[in-house]
Amino acid sequence: MTKRKNAFLLTSIATLAIASVATIHFAQDAKKAAPIKALLVTGGGYHDYKGQEKILTEGISSRTPVKWTVIHKNAEETKAALSKEGWADPYDVVVYNLCHAKETDKKFVDSLAEVHKNGKPAVAIHCSMHSYHWKIEGETKQWAAMLGVTSPRHGKHAPITVENLEPDHPIMKGFPKKWVTPKGELYHIDKIWGTATALARGTIDDGKKYHDCIWVNEFGKGRVFGTTIGHHNETMQEGVYLDLVTRGIQWVTGNLD
């Protein structure tokens, strides 16, 4: 009788242990599978933002679980949406792929930067680097400080040869040593801020002139990933590009080891 009780007890303990381990693993898997809540802010001129909205949301979601909310409006309507109190609170990351270069309201622009300085992760793509600072007066432009770079212009349309500068950085693992974009519009970077780290540089003239084109920035409590690559849909549709932006989103949100 005692042996049976002992056997029953040992079996029960083993069953509970297995169940506990299974529960822990299930909880961990559920945590890993929880989608990143991302807000895409897009719109403006000079680019096919409707097409890029589809390319980015579908392409990135096929690589990692993301629940998207999209603000795709003109500059005035976007400003109204991003002026509401707590507008960024529901999201894990804000992805900017927009072209609103004529904004003159410094208080509004500074408020955007402050959201990320206080800890909200950001991803900035292409013309986001030409938005919200050109017509803002003052030497210290908070939007540029948040981005981590200052860009005043871009070069001619031509494929960009992108050189991986930091192959051991989590974002750049798997990125080719060199990658040539199908099409391109290389932005000139006049300043990379002291809080930023360049991950790649690009050239359109066989290395006569380079400009940083992929980087990360530590802005206050917030992490920022940026790339000036992405003018043309043909480039955005490339697997290399979608992998890059996906890893950028994962990195700023702490989901990339």
How many other CB atoms sit within 10 Å of the CB of residue 174?
A: 12
> Is the residue at 52 inside a domain?
yes
**For residue 56, is pLDDT > 80?**
yes
Helix axes 49-61, 239-252, angle to 10 degrees: 70
Q: Which domain holds residue 158?
A: 37-252
pTM of the model: 0.86
Is 226 found in the same domain as 168? yes
**pLDDT score, position 16:** 42
List, for residues 174-197, the tens digit of each pLDDT value.
Answer: 999 999 999 999 999 999 999 999
The verdict on 79 and 13 lying in the same domain is no
Number of domains in the chain: 2
Confirm whether 257 is domain-assigned.
no
Q: Are residues 43 and 27 in the same domain?
A: no
Q: How far is CA 7 from CA 4, 19, 56, in A?
A: 5, 18, 58
Report the distance separating Cα 44 and Cα 134, nearest Å.
15
Q: What is the mean pLDDT of residues 136-162?
A: 88
Residue 202 lies in a domain: yes
Judgement on whether residues 98 and 10 belong to the same structural domain of the protein = no
Three-state SS sequence of 23-80: HHHHHHHHHHHCCEEEEEEEEECCCCHHHHHHHHHHHHHCCCCEEEEEEECCHHHHHH
- Regarding whether 130 and 167 lie in a shared domain, the answer is yes
Whether residues 154 and 129 fall in one domain: yes
pLDDT of residue 19 exceeding 50, the answer is no
**pLDDT score for 70:** 98
DSSP letter for 241, please.
H
Assess if residue 208 is contained within a domain: yes
Decide if 227 is inside a domain. Answer: yes
Q: What is the pLDDT of residues 197-235, one digit of tens each?
A: 999 999 999 999 999 999 999 999 999 999 999 999 999
**195 and 160 share one domain:** yes
Residues 9 and 110 in one domain: no
